Structures are given as structure tokens and as C-alpha cells.
């Protein structure tokens, strides 16, 4: 099966840190998904959850990942990154098929 997403080294390190330090149960995996639109379009979601029958399951760099089948096409090619700046900290989703503002 083709894995639709990738995870940067910084995001991988932060996810593993969360799993180790936030008492995530061993039978939970990282859930990656989308939330419906409105005028802003799709937004992306990360969390930890138990597998469900409608999930695609795979492993990325030692991290068990779940994606609901109906979200699969919206996540194709997406890269998950983590930033830790002076004013903000968190995960970000990067779609390489959409040019960045400075690329326009």
C-alpha cells in the first residue's frame, strides 16, 4: 500500500516524545485526518486513537499511523513537520503540490 504522508525528523522526534511522556496507551496509534471545510477549506488533525475498521494502518519511522479511508485522498503527498519558534510551537502540514507564497 502506498503511504500518503511523510513525517520530517523534527515531527518524528516530537511525536515520539509525546508518546513517551504523555502516557499514550500502547494500543493507540497516531491518527492523521482532515476536518471539513466551510469557507476556509479543509483543516488537518493529529491525535492518538485506537484503530477502527475503516482505517488504513501503516508504520512510518517506528510510528504506527492511522488514516480513515475516506481521508486518504485528501492527505496524499502531505508532509507533517514540527516547528518550535519564539512565538509559536506546533505541527504543520505541508502540501508540496501547493506553492508557498514566496514561490508565487
Each residue of 48-79: pLDDT tens digit?
Answer: 999 999 999 999 989 999 999 999 888 999 99
Rounded CA separation 68/51 (Å): 9
Spell out the alpha helix ranges (H) of 22-94: 72-75
Domain spans in the chain, listed from the N-terminal domain onward: 5-20+28-34+45-95
Band of residue 95 on the pLDDT scale cut at 50, 70, 90: confident
Range of weakest confidence among 2-6, 9-13, 99-103: 99-103
Spell out the alpha helix ranges (H) of 1-104: 9-21, 72-75
The CATH architecture one would assign to domain 5-20+28-34+45-95 is Sandwich (2.60)
Amino acid at each position: 500500500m502506498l503511504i500518503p504522508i511523510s513525517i520530517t525528523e523534527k515531527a518524528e522526534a516530537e511525536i515520539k516524545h509525546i508518546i513517551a511522556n504523555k502516557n499514550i496507551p500502547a494500543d493507540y496509534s497516531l491518527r492523521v485526518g482532515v476536518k471539513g471545510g466551510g469557507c476556509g477549506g479543509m483543516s488537518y488533525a493529529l491525535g492518538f486513537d485506537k484503530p477502527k475498521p475503516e482505517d488504513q494502518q501503516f508504520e512510518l519511522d517506528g510510528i504506527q499511523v492511522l488514516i480513515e479511508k475516506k481521508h486518504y485522498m485528501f492527505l496524499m503527498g502531505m508532509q507533517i513537520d514540527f516547528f518550535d519558534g519564539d512565538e509559536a510551537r506546533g505541527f504543520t502540514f505541508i502540501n508540496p503540490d501547493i506553492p508557498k507564497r514566496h514561490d508565487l
